[in-house]
Amino acid sequence: MKTPNFSKKLDYKEALEAASRGMILVHDPQLLIKMIIRMIVYRLKLRHAGMIIYSPEKNEYLLAISKGQTGHRIPQGFARFNHSSPIIKVFSDVKFRPLFQSKHAILWHDMNKMIWQEGLLNGHGCDPQVREILHQVSDQMDLLGVVACVPAIYHDKLLAVLLLGEKQSSEKFDSEELSFFGALASDTAMALRNAQLFDQLRSQAEHNHDLFLRMTMSLGAAIEVKDEYTRGHSEGVTRYALAIAQEMNKSGKYHFDEKFMEDLYVAGTLHDIGKIGVPESILNKPGRLTPEEYALVKRHPVDGVAILKPLSELERSMAGIRYHHERHDGKGYPDGLKGEEIPIIAAIIAVADTFDSIVTQRPYRPSRTPQQAMEEIVRNRETQFHPEVVDALECVFKAGGIVEIVKREDIKREE
């Protein structure tokens, strides 16, 4: 039997960046969890790992995924945890928050002693409640066969707990590895919340927006018949727009909440719905449009708003649909808005729309590379596009996230 090679040092910065790039693209919570756990088990060579995840529908925490060696990994579906379970309570109950000095705190189990990474008990070790909860958590960790628990917290809400088994080499985790787990959990929490949001949006659409679904599906199908280019375009724009907004959130200047992300999702999906009124002979024309034809195409943002106006629940998305062809220098349409007059939702869609248009083959020109698209958008920073939106796209591009979206959209368009 071949002896495992444990000597190769993992580049944790590279691993974290690779994981973050993948998380941007995954909108299925279960798939996201599987990806993270698989990466941890196989790249860090653990005997097993798992994740307890919060289920909003059941208002409890479930062991959603477990990977690793047979005989070591925790059986999937084996455990359910309510809010009073010690392993959940210690991370979520406000009375135990003074134990933490860092949001990257890791509960480490070693020789039946509980240690808090990045901050010991700090005077709380004598508190009977603290000692009791730690003993209870120790018992649960023994039962689960794990040596460390890492909380994934988003806006003070515990979304998941990463469960780590021993290394295959039986070596202890070092400080660099524990810092990696803390940073990974932070990124996981944000990605998991975004994935849950997409899941909730789908459920909400299925249960509460039947009319909305029927209308958008019918209009979308009609546009695809009229304009082959539109196939996949709206979905691509939506993915780019959400990636940009997530990056802008990281800057700290913008605080896009869940409702904004939902409005952005809807606006990106429906931004070209007004093209239903443009003849296909114009949409698919291989040559330059006449002034009259171009004037007709320029009507589509206003027409789109008119089409969707009866759906009052889409009111907050209308700005993104109406103003996504406005320019930062005031030379856009339909209203010639300038700079900060342009709603940020529209400024984001404008950049996402342009990027997808450049990398997609059009009737009148071939597609260009993502690098060429990025260069053109940067050239038009502060003239055509909001500078901070361009900066966010550039950050995502340099991290590799945009290229991954392009590949996914190319595959979908070929299907």
Per-residue model confidence as pLDDT tens digits over 341-363: 999 999 999 999 999 999 887 77
Regarding whether 230 and 265 lie in a shared domain, the answer is yes
Checking if the pLDDT of 195 tops 70, the result is: yes
The reply to whether 200 falls in a domain is: no
Query: Rounded to an integer, what distance in angstroms lies between the CA atom of residue 393 and that of residue 353?
Result: 12
What pLDDT shows up at residue 143?
83
Q: Given pLDDT bands bounded at 50, 70 and 90, which one contains residue 185?
A: confident
When comparing pLDDT for 354 and 36, which is higher?
Answer: 354
Regarding whether 149 and 254 lie in a shared domain, the answer is no
Q: What is the mean pLDDT of the chain?
A: 78
Q: How far is CA 276 from CA 154, 218, 232, 238, 344, in A?
A: 40, 11, 16, 19, 25
The reply to whether 74 falls in a domain is: yes
What is the model's pTM?
0.51
Least confident of 79-93, 214-228, 231-245: 214-228
The reply to whether 156 falls in a domain is: yes
Q: Measure CA 279 to chain center.
A: 36
Report the pLDDT averaged over residues 303-315. 83
When comparing pLDDT for 332 and 279, which is higher?
Answer: 332
What pLDDT shows up at residue 95?
78
Query: Rounded to an integer, what distance in angstroms lies between the CA atom of residue 386 and that of residue 168?
Result: 50
Report the pLDDT averaged over residues 66-72. 59
Assign residue 253 the CATH number of its domain.
Answer: 1.10.3210.10
Checking if the pLDDT of 139 tops 70, the result is: yes
Regarding whether 146 and 68 lie in a shared domain, the answer is yes
What pLDDT shows up at residue 112?
34
Assign residue 171 the CATH number of its domain.
Answer: 3.30.450.40
Per-residue model confidence as pLDDT tens digits over 111-123: 334 444 434 444 4
Regarding whether 85 and 31 lie in a shared domain, the answer is yes
Per-residue model confidence as pLDDT tens digits over 237-271: 888 999 999 999 988 889 999 889 988 988 888 89
Domain total of the chain: 2
What pLDDT shows up at residue 69?
61
Query: Rounded to an integer, what distance in angstroms lies between the CA atom of residue 129 and that of residue 143?
Result: 21
The reply to whether 90 falls in a domain is: yes
* Crossing angle between the packed helical segments 370-379 and 387-398, to the nearest 10 degrees: 150
Regarding whether 81 and 185 lie in a shared domain, the answer is yes
Structure tokens at 405: 């979206």
The reply to whether 197 falls in a domain is: no
* H or E element at residue 113: strand 113-116
Phi, psi of 145 (to 5 degrees): 70, 35
Regarding whether 123 and 260 lie in a shared domain, the answer is no
Where a domain ends, among 160, 191, 222?
191
Regarding whether 231 and 186 lie in a shared domain, the answer is no
Structural domain including 151 reads: 12-191
Where a domain ends, among 161, 191, 221?
191
Contact 405, 399 (CB under 8 A): no
- For residue 52, which amino acid is it? I
Where a domain ends, among 162, 191, 220?
191
Regarding whether 259 and 157 lie in a shared domain, the answer is no
Regarding whether 121 and 245 lie in a shared domain, the answer is no
Structure tokens at 153: 């917290």
